[in-house]
């Protein structure tokens, strides 16, 4: 992802990814965001995990250890009820933001 990321966008992307894909591990989230954005967004892998941990602390996501297709132990995250609500709010405020930014850009 671009360095000048907007505050909270990473959270939104992670929540949306989990909403669409159900359970996913950290690496899977990175890959999904990359693919879904047509390689436009690249999540900085090191900063993903503190965010995941923080969201888990806030109760937005829950985690379990499970085996991947290649028989590797990995931590899988999924959205909780609280997380779903958070996602709706985050989407709404992002739409606002985009509308606002777009309006300013048009004006210029």
Footprint of another protein on this chain (CB under 8 A)?
A: 25-27, 44-47, 49-51, 53-54, 56-57, 59, 68, 70, 72-75
Contact at 8 Å (CB) between 54 and 67? no
Q: Which helix (H) or strand (E) holds 75?
A: strand 73-79
CB of 104 to another protein, least distance (A): 33
CB of 28 to another protein, least distance (A): 8
Q: In what order do the strands lie in the sheet with 73-79?
A: 24-25, 73-79, 61-67
CB of 71 to another protein, least distance (A): 11
Nearer to another protein, 45 or 95 (CB): 45
**Angle of the 45-58 helix axis to the 81-107 helix axis, nearest 10:** 130
Nearer to another protein, 25 or 32 (CB): 25
CB of 97 to another protein, least distance (A): 24
The torsion angle over the Cα atoms of residues 37, 40, 46 and 50, rounded to 10 degrees, is -50
């Amino acid at each position: 992802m671009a360095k000048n990321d907007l505050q909270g966008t990473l959270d939104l992307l992670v929540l949306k990814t989990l909403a669409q894909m159900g359970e996913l591990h950290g690496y899977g989230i990175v890959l999904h965001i990359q693919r879904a954005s047509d390689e436009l967004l690249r999540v900085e892998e090191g900063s993903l995990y503190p965010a995941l941990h923080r969201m888990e602390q806030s109760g937005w996501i829950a985690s379990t250890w499970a085996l991947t297709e290649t028989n590797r132990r990995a931590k899988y995250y999924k959205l909780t009820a609280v997380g779903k609500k958070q996602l709706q709010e985050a989407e709404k405020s992002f739409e606002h933001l985009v509308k606002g930014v777009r309006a300013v850009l048009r004006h210029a």
